[in-house]
Amino acid sequence: MADELLTVAEMGRADRAAMAAGVPGPVLMERAGAAVAAAALARWSPCPVAVLCGPGNNGGDGFVAAHLLAERGWPVRLALLGEVAALRGDAAWAASGWTAPVERLETGVLDGAGLVIDALFGAGLSRPLDGPAADIVGEIGRRALPLLAVDVPSGVRGDDGAVLGCAPRADLTVTFHRRKPAHVLLPGRLLCGEVVLADIGIPDGVVEAIAPRTWENGPRLWGARYPWPRPEGHKYSRGHALVLGGAVMTGAARLAARAALRAGAGLVTIAAPPETVTLYALSLPSAIVLPAPDGAAFEALLDDPRRNAVLLGPGAGPGEALATRVLAALARDRSGVLDADVFTSFAGGLEPLALRLHDRWVLTPHDGEFVRLFGPLPGSRLDRARAAARACGAVVLLKGADTVVAHPDGRAAVTTNAPPDLATAGSGDVLAGLIVGLLAQGMDGFDAACAGAWLHGEAGRAVGPGLIAEDLPEALPAVLRRLKADA
Ligand SMILES: NC(=O)C1=CN([C@@H]2O[C@H](COP(=O)(O)OP(=O)(O)OC[C@H]3O[C@@H](n4cnc5c(N)ncnc54)[C@H](O)[C@@H]3O)[C@@H](O)[C@H]2O)[C@H](O)CC1
Ligand SMILES: [K+]
C-alpha cells in the first residue's frame, strides 16, 4: 500500500528483516545512497555539492551518494562529523569507497556549494544538534543553500517530526522503504520539503510482518468502503442524519447539515429551537427541520431508529442542556459525531462520555477542545490522539494542519492534504457534517473520520485562497467525481 508510516524502531526491524532475508546491509546502503544521488541528478543541474556526513549509517548513505555524484562529474566536497577511523559497519564500508579527501565538518565546506546533501543524522538522532552540526545547520540557513536531506533533515525526530535543537529546511528529502511520522507531522513535514520514497529492496512481506498501525490518510485506506450510491438504492437506504441546531449560532448546524447532505446522507433532519425553524427551513430546502423545544422533543426525534447518525455540538451552546442531549443520544444505538461545545460541556469530566461511547462515534476536537476534555496528555499528536481514543472508546479526530484520526484499538492516520485556507469560521462544522453524513451511510467510525478529513482537505484545496466555509460543501461534487474516477 505504501501509505504505511513506520516508526524508527519499525524501520530498524525492517532493515534487520531484509538483512535476515539475505539483503546485506551494504546493499541496502548502496541503494539508499543511489536513490539520494538519483534525486539530486533529477532535481538539480550539475553543481558543486557539499555532502555532510554524520558518524552513523545516515552518513554512510552520504558517502555512497557523494561517490556516485563525483563519478557523474559533479564537483563534490565531503565533510565528516568525527573521524573516518571511528566509522563502523556499513558506514565504514561506504566510506572506504570514497577516495577523495574527507574534510572536517566546518562551515567552510559550504563555500561555493550550489547544493548541500544532509547526511548527518537520520533514524539514529538521539539528542538536539549541537557543536559543529548545529553550527553548519545554522550557516546553511543563513546562506539559504538548496538542501537535499537523507532520510530526514538532521535534527528532526523520526517518530513525531519534532525538531531537536535545530534542523535545516530541505527542498527535498529522500527516505527509504516507507515514510515515518516525521514526514507527515508538523513541523517535520514542512522541513522535509518534497518527500521522495525510495525502494531499497526490502521485501514487501516485511511490512506485513511488522503490521504497522499508522498510515497517511488517503483513499487507499478507506476508498474500497466508500458508500457510493447503489442503483437499487433510495434516499432511505442512504441513512438519516439528525443534527442538533442551536438557537443563536445557527450557521454551524446549517453548514453541518449541508455538508452531511453533500456527503450523501439520504436525509438530514435539523432539530431546531421552535423560534428558529423558519430560518433553518428557508436556508436548507433539502433538509427536514423539526421543532425541538426541549430535551423530551429531541429524544422523541432520536427514538426513530431511521435517524441512525447524530451530530451534536456545532452552535449548540455549551452547558447542561447539551450534555443531557448528548447522553440521550449515546443511550441509543446510534453512530454520531461530537464536536465543538460538547467538549466544553464535559470539560474535565470524561467519565460520563467514556462509559457510553463506542467506535461508531467520532470526536472532533481542535487542540484547545482536546485539552479541555482529555487534559494535557504527553507525547506527539499521534500519541495524544491514540491515548484519548483509548480512554474514551470512540474515534478521536484531533484537528490541525496535520489532523490525526485515532481508533481505540491503536490504529491512526495522519491527514496531509489540508490547506491553511481551511482555518476559517465554520470549517470545522463542515467537517463534522461530512463525517456524520458518512456515518449515516454506514461507514464505520474510523473510515468515516478519515474519509471526512480527506474530503474536507480536498474541498479546501479545490477552493483555495479566499475560501469561506460555505464554499466547502459546494466544492464536494467535483472532489467526489475525482475520487470516483480514481477508484
Ligand atoms: N541497514 C540500515 O539500517 C539502513 C539504514 N539507513 C540509514 O541509516 C540511518 C540510521 O543510521 P544510524 O547509524 O542508526 O543513526 P544515524 O546515522 O542517524 O546517527 C548516527 C549516530 O549519531 C549519534 N547521534 C545521534 N544524535 C546525535 C546528535 N544530536 N549529535 C551527535 N551525535 C548524535 C548516535 O550515536 C547515532 O547512532 C537512517 O536514517 C538511514 O539514513 C540506510 O539508508 C538504509 C539501510
Ligand atoms: K539527515
Summary mean pLDDT of the chain: 96
Rounded to the nearest angstrom, the distance between the alpha carbon of 377 and the centre of ligand 1 is 29
Domain coordinates of the chain in residue numbers? 8-212, 219-486
CA–CA separation, 415 vs 184, rounded Å? 8
> Does residue 18 carry a pLDDT above 80?
yes
Rounded to the nearest angstrom, the distance between the alpha carbon of 158 and the centre of ligand 1 is 11
Q: What is the mean pLDDT of residues 391-402?
A: 97
Rounded to the nearest angstrom, the distance between the alpha carbon of 52 and the centre of ligand 2 is 9
> Does residue 198 carry a pLDDT above 90?
yes
Q: What is the mean pLDDT of residues 247-253?
A: 95
What strand order describes the sheet that includes 76-80? 102-104, 76-80, 49-53, 115-119, 147-150, 172-176, 194-198
Asked if residue 367 belongs to a known ligand binding site, the reply is no
> Does residue 27 carry a pLDDT above 90?
yes
> Cβ(28) to ligand 1 under 6 A?
yes
pLDDT digits (tens, 9 = 90+) for 261-282: 999 999 999 999 999 999 999 9
Residues 316 and 244: beta-carbon distance below 8 Å: yes
Reported as type and span, the H/E element at residue 288 is: strand 288-291
Residues 212 and 6: beta-carbon distance below 8 Å: yes
> Does residue 4 carry a pLDDT above 90?
yes
- CATH class of domain segment(s) 219-486: alpha beta
pLDDT at 49: 98
Rounded to the nearest angstrom, the distance between the alpha carbon of 216 and the centre of ligand 1 is 24
Residue percentage of the chain with pLDDT more than 70: 100
Pick the ligand that lies closest to the CA of residue 105: 1
pLDDT digits (tens, 9 = 90+) for 220-234: 999 999 999 988 888
pLDDT at 1: 59
pLDDT digits (tens, 9 = 90+) for 346-376: 998 899 999 999 999 999 999 999 999 999 9
pLDDT digits (tens, 9 = 90+) for 422-434: 999 999 999 999 9
Position in ligand 1 atom list of the atom nearest CA 123 = 39
Whose Cα sits closest to atom 41 in ligand 1?
58
Rounded to the nearest angstrom, the distance between the alpha carbon of 56 and the centre of ligand 1 is 5
**Mutation test of ligand 1: which of 36, 90, 126, 177 has the most ligand atoms closer than 8 Å to its C-beta?**
126
Residue percentage of the chain with pLDDT more than 90: 97
Report the greatest alpha carbon distance in the chain: 83
Asked if residue 464 belongs to a known ligand binding site, the reply is no
- Could you give the ipTM of this predicted complex? 0.95
> Does residue 448 carry a pLDDT above 90?
yes
Whose Cα sits closest to atom 9 in ligand 1?
58
Q: Which three cell numbers stand for residue 466?
A: 479566499
DSSP codes of every residue in 196-245: EEEP----THHHHHH---EEE-SHHHHGGG--PPPTT--GGGG-EEEEEP
- CATH class of domain segment(s) 8-212: alpha beta
CA–CA separation, 387 vs 431, rounded Å? 22
Residues 150 and 122: beta-carbon distance below 8 Å: yes
Taking CA atoms, 382 is separated from 23, 39, 226, in Å, by: 32, 30, 25
> Does residue 2 carry a pLDDT above 80?
no
